[in-house]
Structure 1
């Protein structure tokens, strides 16, 4: 096992030691199907039901996607009127689903006092870029047109972690161009730039849950052998998009995350473009902390702080 920085949260270090002892092969050495099952085992099968946040109701449904309807799940913390948030799950555009991000959806609904519409967009490599973007946009446009029956107010936000944070940022840029106003965006350790090599990608390349080999594997599934000019497409790399006039944002990053620097760069670029931004940087934590509250008090505190900031933007 890679020697870990002593500043790492001790409870997160214990979790990483447990995962290392399990001897599971890296995702980058398996198939997408194996990676999906492994992630589901970790995020769903090993979850203690008592750790799942309570909400008033959870309803499975469908929403429009880029090529037909997609599964979705609507979480209500209470009766409205409330803001509505479209949640786009992480997983490198290859893994993850409604179940793996059930805790995140419930946490946002309960802590931010909003209706959450969690969307199961198409995954690569079966459906490479831009399928996930097309699904995320179609679902969010649908939500914008059905706010009365969802949250009941005119306030719509987007949220996502990792690859989902990338998609949420892309959605925010596109809907601004289409004249659909968003109240807020929540980007949790988002991937924002396929073209750059940020220092945190090297500093945290191994040992901290998400590693460099897995990130490269995810990218290969999602974009394949895309030309360099394609990688700068704002639908892949939102840091290269026009940032003025976007919804206020909360950007959350973790000290030992390979994606730390590009999340920080996106927050700084948003601020430079005049967008109100709350950058929440959490020392001692790793990529994936949003689903690690049951393992780490520090991770749970970070989730609660992130949601507190997002709630303030959502409710205006």
Structure 2
């Protein structure tokens, strides 16, 4: 399917921005650029309304709790933002969390996990696991319902998948939006979509280098086969308890498309209930692109509806 026209126009604007490609800049440059494309574009009129928002702390990390206007008990979703483990924060994904909260009628707990290169792998994993364990122990004061889900986009989808693997039956559902599942893998979609579609191969290498360690001889370089950064390499038979049902979302023009779909297939082969959906014509990061692309907005609405069903199955 051809690239969505709204997405194409947005990519042209990004190409003309004053910021260098992420792979040629510093983490601070990239963090400012992401905020300029997300936080700085939100106005009081476009901010998605929810019942309440509370700044809090979970397992030693800043967090934000979103409650819908709906009465409880409700499912709880621990949300882990994307950004290649290097960029992103509570503010850059505020609108996403608000849409999930309001549209799916769930309590959303967003976690500000530590970022690389200041805190390399497995710091983000440790923070994600600690947050989900905390949420599991505090279900009554969060959504109050029986369902605890973990979810995220891109790098956050990676962390959500890892948390579901590590915590087994403590997680009731997983929401994986265009997740990175094999950090050191090689897939056709990485070649087909290597350049020109928002997330490119050079930036993926830049993210991975900061997160896992740039140099092969570094003492802190991660084991290439460690499933805590590449859940596609996990032995699912070793999981403690049943793995949570999953929603796996991919998009056509995304270097991560094939590994996301491969992970969905791995879960299915292990007997895990999986709903896999691919949105053609869209690119990585489409959840933030609704204002420029009706197709992206419609896809996000569909994702939110699917999340609501998954958390109430």
Alignment of 1:51 with 2:57, yes or no, is no
Alpha-carbon distance, 1:306 to partner? 1.3
Query: How many positions carry a matched residue from both structures?
Result: 304
Paired residues for 1:10-49 under 5 Å: 10-49=5-44
Question: Is the 2:199–2:284 contact (alpha carbons within 8 Å) kept by the matching residues of 1?
Answer: yes
Of 277, 280, 293, the match for 2:277: 280
Structure 2 CA distance for partners of 1:239 and 1:35, relative to 1, 3 Å: same
Give deviations 1:204-246, integer Å, cap 9, x for gaps: 1111111111000000000013589812111010001133531
Query: Deviation digits for residues 49-90 of structure 1, max 9, x if unmatched?
Result: 4232210100000000xxxx1100000012321000000000
* 1:198-237 map, 5 Å: 198-224=187-213, 225=215, 230-237=223-230
Superposition TM-score, scaled by structure 1 size? 0.93
Match of 1:75 in 2: 66
* 1:117 corresponds to which of 106, 109, 112: 109
Instruction: Report if the CA contact (8 A) 1:173-1:242 is conserved.
Output: no
Alignment-derived partner of residue 146 in structure 1: 138
Deviation at 1:315, TM superposition (A): 1.1
Asked if the contact 1:124/1:221 (under 8 Å) is kept, the reply is: yes
Whether 1:61 aligns to 2:56 is yes
1:201 & 1:113 partners in 2: Cα distance? 35
Match of 1:289 among 271, 286, 290: 286
**What is the aligned partner in structure 2 of residue 196 from structure 1?**
185
Matches of 2:206 and 2:49, distance apart in 1: 35
Q: Distance in 2 between matches of 1:156 and 1:24?
A: 39
Q: C-alpha displacement at 1:199, in angstroms?
A: 0.6
C-alpha distance after superposition, 1:125-166 (max 9, x if no partner):
000000000000001100000000000112100010000000
Cα separation, 1, equivalents of 2:143 and 2:133: 15
How far residue 23 of structure 1 moved from its aligned partner, in angstroms, is 4.2
The residue number in structure 2 matching 1:3 is: none
Contact 1:184 1:310 in 2 (8 A): no
Q: CA RMSD in A?
A: 1.4
User: Which TM-score applies when normalising by structure 2?
Assistant: 0.94
**Structure 2: 5+ residue stretches without partners:** none
CA contact (8 A) 1:183 1:313 kept: no
Q: Is the 8 A contact 1:51 1:294 kept in 2?
A: no
Separation in 2 of the partners of 1:52 and 1:242? 42
1:240 pairs, out of 233, 236, 249, with 233
Cα distance in 1 for partners of 2:267, 2:45 equals 38
2:243 is paired with a residue of what secondary structure? coil
* Offset of residue 47 of structure 1: 2.7
Supply the distance in 1 between the matched residues of 2:249 and 2:39 (Cα, whole angstroms).
Answer: 23
